[in-house]
């Protein structure tokens, strides 16, 4: 029985615009991501399709389209490349580059990455964030599952669904507010205290999230274990508790290589 394009899922071989579905990659809060083939350019792509029940939700649709517009405005090797924003049979979609690989979450596992790998990936994450911040874009949902490592070791920052534009140094009023003021959006374990409180945030919030990601990259566990009250962490888990090599890591993280990470992310 053939699945209609208005349904929640697609079958292998069905087409959305000029993209032939190959398989499902994953499903998030706003859409399902499929591996597909571009029938015009004959290349593999990742295509995110807005969930059927979200088409009538203006906010979710706005966030979905904002992700595509924001990411497409950023041209950097460490940020996912957007090929097309389109609509087919009343379903909005984003076609983007397909990357064979694993997320930082999958790479780190429960034991953490080798230190040299963590530093190599961290520098690339910092480069991507620096490019976004230079364009006045704050990601606001940086976490291990939103960072992909390709089979060749290249890092790509994904999912700009919560991203927003902030005021420029010239003080103009250009601003894209994806969520209403006071509304908390994001992943609490990786959010800055300001974002947890629903306050206005800037690039420094991403740097906080980056620090949390770094912690998990070397230890395999997030620093904030439990006890969130009103979205604020009460208890911090010392890195030494999770990682026997903490002293060695601390020494290595204070080297010039790691100092460059901070400079590039500013």
Catalytic residues: 141
Record the tokens describing residue 166, joined without a space: 């902030």
**Helix %, strand %, coil % of the chain (to 5):** 35, 20, 45
Nearest to 205 by CA among 129, 263, 144, 147: 129
* Strand 137-138 to 155-157 pairing: unpaired
C-alpha span between 113 and 121 (Å, rounded): 10
**Maximum Cα interatomic distance, the chain, rounded to a whole number of Å:** 61
Q: Where are the alpha helices (DSSP H) in the chain?
A: 58-72, 104-108, 115-134, 193-196, 203-219, 239-242, 246-253, 256-264
């Amino acid at each position: 029985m053939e699945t209609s394009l208005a349904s929640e899922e697609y079958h292998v071989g069905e087409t959305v615009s000029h993209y032939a579905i190959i398989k499902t990659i994953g499903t998030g809060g706003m859409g399902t991501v499929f591996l597909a083939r571009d029938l015009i350019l004959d290349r593999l792509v990742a295509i995110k399709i807005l969930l059927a029940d979200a088409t009538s939700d203006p906010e979710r649709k706005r966030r979905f389209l904002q992700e595509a517009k924001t990411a497409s405005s950023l041209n950097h090797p460490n940020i996912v490349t957007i090929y097309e924003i389109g609509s087919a049979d009343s379903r909005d979609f984003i076609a983007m580059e397909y990357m064979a690989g694993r997320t930082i979450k999958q790479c780190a596992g429960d034991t953490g990455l080798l230190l040299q790998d963590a530093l190599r990936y961290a520098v690339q994450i910092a480069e991507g964030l620096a490019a976004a911040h230079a364009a006045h874009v704050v990601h606001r949902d940086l976490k291990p599952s939103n960072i992909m490592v390709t089979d060749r070791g290249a890092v790509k920052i994904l999912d700009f669904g919560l991203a927003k534009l902030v005021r420029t140094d010239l003080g103009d009023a250009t601003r894209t507010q994806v969520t209403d003021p006071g509304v908390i959006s994001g992943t609490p374990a990786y959010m800055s205290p300001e974002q947890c409180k629903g306050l206005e945030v800037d690039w420094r919030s991403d740097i906080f999230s980056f620090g949390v990601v770094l912690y998990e990259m070397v230890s395999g566990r997030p620093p904030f274990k439990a006890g969130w009250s009103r979205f604020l962490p009460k208890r911090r888990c010392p890195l030494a508790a999770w990682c026997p090599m903490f002293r060695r890591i601390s020494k290595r993280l204070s080297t010039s290589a790691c100092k460059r990470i901070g400079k590039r992310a500013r």
